[in-house]
Amino acid sequence: MIRIDAVWLSTAPLDMRAGTDTALARVVAVFGCAHPHTAYLFANRRANRMKVLVHDGIGIWLAARRLHQGHFVWPAQATQTQISLSRAQLDALVLGLPWSRIGEGGIIRVV
């Protein structure tokens, strides 16, 4: 299994036709560099598709996920261009759930 120690989400949309090199270039542009054992998440403008780029310490992995109904709960591009997520938040996000309501230890908070 690929080890993931940190998860970062980009609020700027990514063209889902982007391949590994384009996604990696976007990671470097948004986050400054690609750290080992880190996952970087991007969505398209409609937020019904997501790409995840993972640097495993040796190479790069690129995965895609698509929702056939609804959309991923994605933050609007505001002043923050990047957001750190916990593992529980990542698990909720890929299922299309409101991940921003999940806090430390799985506690649900009112936003």
> pLDDT grade, residue 81 (50/70/90)?
confident
Q: Which domain holds residue 48?
A: 6-106
Mean pLDDT of the residues in the chain? 87
Structural domain includes residue 19? yes
Structural domain includes residue 34? yes
Structural domain includes residue 111? no
Q: What is the pLDDT of residue 50?
A: 95
Instruction: Tell me how long the chain is.
Output: 111
Q: What is the pLDDT of residue 74?
A: 86
Structural domain includes residue 41? yes
Structural domain includes residue 1? no
DSSP element (H, E) containing 63: strand 60-66
The total of other beta-carbon atoms located within 10 Å of residue 109's CB is 9
Q: Give per-residue pLDDT as tens, 87-106.
A: 888 888 888 888 877 765 55
Q: How many domains does the chain have?
A: 1
Span 15-38, mean pLDDT? 93
Span 66-77, mean pLDDT? 85
